[in-house]
Homo-oligomer: A and B are copies of this chain.
């Protein structure tokens, strides 16, 4: 087992990464103010891991209220959130009751927002069971639900007390979701660490074959990279925005096709390909580096183009992105593999040339 600590002063917390951690509740117990948790998962994860995890908690004397949500991004909504509030209130959960999220990004995001807002905040614990959640959404305290007018528009910054990432849960993950998680891992190499990107080029097949040590290294290194960025800029006033590389385009794609049609990681992969192209259009990045990125994305089984939407439509969707400031779109662009920068000066013509590839 490896441990990465997100160093945020009195809100610091450990991320445990290893195999078979789901039954090791000793990792969680020290973080519970009361031996009472609300365990939130979804209908896909429940039959796989709920009984085992719940049993381990109960054996340690923890009382468990369970909430099983429907599966899918479209349920990351107020209505679903309200079913969590209802269950917590119906069970008389108090401020000392911890909320534990067992599942992927949707479960983690909505459970985290419930924890941030139930009775103005209760302790929160993340047990991510998808690659995307382990390398991205469980790190850094972003919680949210979607609004009909935009993804993650309603949310809070709220750090968990502990994150437990069990690599064995990835064995049950559908192929497509594994690949989607890889998009964020690749992103971490792109924005901060060329050597990690190179390691991924060498080891991509081992990850796709779900070799435990390759997965654990990819997850741990992602936690280190994302964790360092989050620590330097918890509330996304500056550097943290680099983590949104590929996301301005990606969110627009997800918005256009409806949440869930494209997986988040797939939209981000295509978004990264477009952002690389825009970086080339802006004269920041060499064409060969852009090609190198696209090649790895394709080897990871990820899409790098989008069809069936007009360029003008994507542009309009991007303008409501949270990363907009003073009405100006800020793009995260690459200056080389391993180094990203925020640019507010993207010319309409450069963006046009990139969007011309969308059809």
Q: Residues of A with Cβ closer than 8 Å to B?
A: 34, 78, 82, 85-86, 89-90, 92, 94-96, 113, 116-121, 142-144, 147, 149-150, 152-157, 235-236, 319-320, 322, 324-327
Chain B proximity of A88: nearest CB distance (Å): 9
With known contacts A90-B149, A325-B96, A156–B319 Cβ distance under 8 A: no
- Give A126 Cβ to nearest chain B Cβ, in Å: 17
Best-surrounded residue of A116, A154, A319 (most CB of chain B within 10 A): A154
Can you list the 8 inter-chain pairs with the closest CB atoms, starting with the nearest? A89-B149, A120-B155, A119-B322, A94-B324, A117-B154, A120-B157, A120-B156, A117-B156
- The residue of chain B having its C-beta at the shortest distance from the C-beta of A95 within the complex is B322
Report yes or no: A326 in contact with B89, Cβ–Cβ below 8 A.
no
Q: How far is the CA of A96 from the CA of B237 in the complex (A)?
A: 10
Q: Beyond A92-B324, A120-B155, A120-B157: 19 further Cβ-contacts under 8 Å?
A: A34-B326, A78-B82, A85-B147, A85-B154, A89-B147, A89-B320, A92-B319, A94-B322, A94-B327, A95-B325, A96-B326, A116-B156, A117-B117, A117-B155, A119-B155, A120-B142, A120-B152, A120-B236, A120-B322
Specify which chain B residues have a CB less than 8 angstroms from the CB of A78 in the assembled complex.
78, 82
A121 adjacent to B157 (CB under 8 Å)? yes
User: Within 8 Å CB of A324, what residues of B?
Assistant: 92, 94
Query: What would be 17 A-B contacts, judged by CB atoms less than 8 Å apart?
Result: A78-B82, A89-B320, A92-B319, A94-B325, A94-B326, A95-B322, A95-B325, A117-B117, A117-B154, A117-B156, A120-B142, A120-B143, A120-B152, A120-B155, A120-B157, A120-B236, A121-B157
Question: Inside 8 A of A325's CB, which chain B residues have their CB?
Answer: 94-96
**Which B-chain residue is minimally distant from A113 (CB atoms)?**
B117
Residue in B closest to A157 when the chains form the complex, CB atoms: B120
A42–B120 alpha-carbon span in the complex (Å): 24
A117, A149, A236 — most chain B CB neighbours (10 Å): A117
